[in-house]
């Protein structure tokens, strides 16, 4: 039976766990392995780990790190960062991850998505679409390389293209909301949901259980991902790895 998932998203920078705001000013928040151990105890639904250095540095995945994370992780693990070939994706799955996430590589070579799907199974292919408002009218556009590279792509069109090629899941991330803890960009997510039927995960801006609950009530069965919500506590953003009481979230509208 399908159900909504509450998903911590961990960003790895210089081999440490960090959190950013609008993809800027990474703040060190600890060791990735220690975070995974805590999330294990809290019975997290799923975990997304993104190496935000790999693509920018034009290097492949850190397989040793992935192996260490997957060995420790007791929940489904989705890894993204530097994946540019079916062989890399296959190795990541063999190391114990359930899903492989692509971003800029899928934009530069859409056929790669199909090739990886044939190698590891479509259900294991995740596309992350980082979106930012651009220009006077605030038009949504897809960005890559940690929000620094404009692609000129409309996120709705790109999501439809990825669904047509065949993917297991699409993650929509709002760069404008990322790390602000002010709530999801529900308008952005709704525009994607109306045009696609592939499993959707939303990310960027969640700062409270109410933000998660609002999204679940509005969109039904989705993935609700967050970073700051699960690593910070209080208005001074003290570092504290935590999770939510899921029983309080899954209520009727």
Q: CATH topology for 5-248? A: TIM Barrel (3.20.20)
Whether the Cβ atoms of residue 50 and residue 101 lie closer than 8 Å to each other: yes
- Mean residue pLDDT across the chain: 94
Q: What is the pLDDT of residue 6?
A: 96
Q: What is the pLDDT of residues 13-33, one digit of tens each?
A: 999 999 999 999 999 999 999
Q: What is the distance between the alpha carbons of residues 101 and 107, in angstroms, rounded to a whole number?
A: 13
Bridge-based pairing of strands 16-21 and 5-13 is antiparallel
Q: What is the distance between the alpha carbons of residues 133 and 188, in angstroms, rounded to a whole number?
A: 10
Question: For residue 86, what are the CA distances in angstroms to 59, 111, 187, 226?
Answer: 15, 11, 34, 28
Place of tokens 């292919």: 125
Q: What is the pLDDT of residue 253?
A: 44
Q: What is the pLDDT of residue 2?
A: 72
Q: What is the pLDDT of residues 113-143, one digit of tens each?
A: 999 999 999 999 999 999 999 877 889 999 9
How many helical (H) and strand (E) elements, i.e. helices and strands, does the chain have? Answer: 9, 14
Q: What is the pLDDT of residue 234?
A: 83
Active site residues: 130
- Provide mean pLDDT across the span 31-56: 96
**Over 70: is that where the pLDDT of 248 sits?**
no
**Over 60: is that where the pLDDT of 98 sits?**
yes
**Over 60: is that where the pLDDT of 252 sits?**
no
Q: What is the pLDDT of residue 135?
A: 79
Q: What is the pLDDT of residues 167-211, one digit of tens each?
A: 999 999 999 999 999 999 999 999 999 999 999 999 999 999 999
**Over 70: is that where the pLDDT of 82 sits?**
yes
Say which DSSP state 244 is in: -
First-to-last CA distance in the chain? 20
Place of tokens 């045009």: 195
User: Helices 155-165 & 186-193, crossing angle to 10 degrees?
Assistant: 40
pLDDT category, 245, cuts 50, 70, 90? Answer: confident
Place of tokens 């939510």: 244
**Over 60: is that where the pLDDT of 150 sits?**
yes
Q: What is the pLDDT of residue 251?
A: 54
Q: What is the pLDDT of residue 249?
A: 73
Q: Break the chain into its structural domains and give their ranges.
A: 5-248
**Over 50: is that where the pLDDT of 7 sits?**
yes
């Amino acid at each position: 039976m399908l159900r909504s998932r509450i998903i911590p998203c961990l960003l790895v920078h210089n081999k440490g766990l960090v959190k950013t705001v609008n993809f800027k000013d990474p703040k060190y928040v600890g060791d990735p392995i220690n975070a995974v151990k805590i999330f294990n105890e809290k019975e997290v639904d799923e975990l997304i780990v993104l190496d935000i250095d790999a693509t920018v540095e034009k290097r492949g995945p850190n397989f040793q790190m992935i192996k260490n994370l997957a060995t420790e992780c007791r929940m489904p693990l989705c890894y993204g960062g530097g994946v540019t070939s079916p062989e890399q994706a296959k190795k990541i799955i063999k190391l114990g991850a359930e899903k492989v996430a692509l971003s800029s590589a899928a934009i530069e070579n859409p056929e790669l998505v199909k090739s990886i799907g044939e190698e590891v199974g479509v259900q294991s292919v995740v596309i992350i679409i980082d979106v930012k408002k651009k220009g006077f009218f605030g038009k949504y556009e897809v960005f890559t390389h940690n929000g620094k590279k404009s692609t000129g792509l409309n996120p709705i069109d790109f999501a439809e293209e990825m669904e047509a090629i065949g993917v297991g899941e699409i993650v929509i991330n709002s760069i404008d909301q990322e790390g602000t803890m002010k709530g999801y960009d529900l308008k952005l997510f709704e525009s994607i949901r109306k045009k696609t039927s592939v499993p959707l995960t939303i990310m960027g801006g969640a700062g409270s259980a109410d933000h998660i609950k609002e999204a679940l009530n509005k969109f039904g069965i989705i993935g609700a991902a967050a970073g700051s919500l699960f690593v910070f506590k209080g208005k001074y953003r003290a570092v504290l790895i935590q999770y939510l009481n899921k029983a309080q979230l899954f209520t009727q509208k």
